[in-house]
Amino acid sequence: KADTETDPQGPGASRGDIAPPARFRLGGKVSFKGKVIPEAQVTLHSGQGQTMIAPTDQAGQFVFARVAPGQYRVTVAGGKPRVPQKYGNPQTSPLSVNVSHDATFDLELSD
C-alpha cells in the first residue's frame, strides 16, 4: 500500500526561511516632443544581460508587472512616429531607472 501522507518538509512545503524575491510594478508613458508614442517597445536591460519588454498602447502607456529590484538601462524603439535611434540602443540611450518599489516612470524623449 502506497504512503499517501505528504512530507511537511517536501518540495511544496514552505520552510519560512527563504522569502520569494521581491518584484515590483513599473509603468509609465512614452512621449516625444509632448506627443504620446503608441506602438513602441520599451525594454529594461539589467546589468546581468537580462531584458524585459513591454509595448506601449494607443495612449503611449506601458507596464512591467514583475520587475526585480535593481538598476536598468532603458531603451525605446519603434513607435508612431518613430523615436530617435539613440533611444533604441542600450549603449546610446540616456535613459535608466533604479527599481526599488512600485513606481510610475514617464519617458519624455527629445531629439
Name the more confident of 34 and 1: 34
Q: Quick: pLDDT tens for 82-108.
A: 999 999 999 999 999 999 999 999 999
Contacts of 47 (CB under 8 A, 6+ apart): 70, 71
Q: Hey, where are the domains in the chain?
A: 24-50+63-98
pTM of the model: 0.80
pLDDT confidence tier of residue 1, bands split at 50, 70 and 90? very low
Contact 69, 44 (CB under 8 A): no
Q: Quick: pLDDT tens for 49-77.
A: 999 999 999 999 999 999 999 999 999 99
pLDDT above 90: residue 16: no
CA–CA dist 46, 111 (Å, integer)? 25
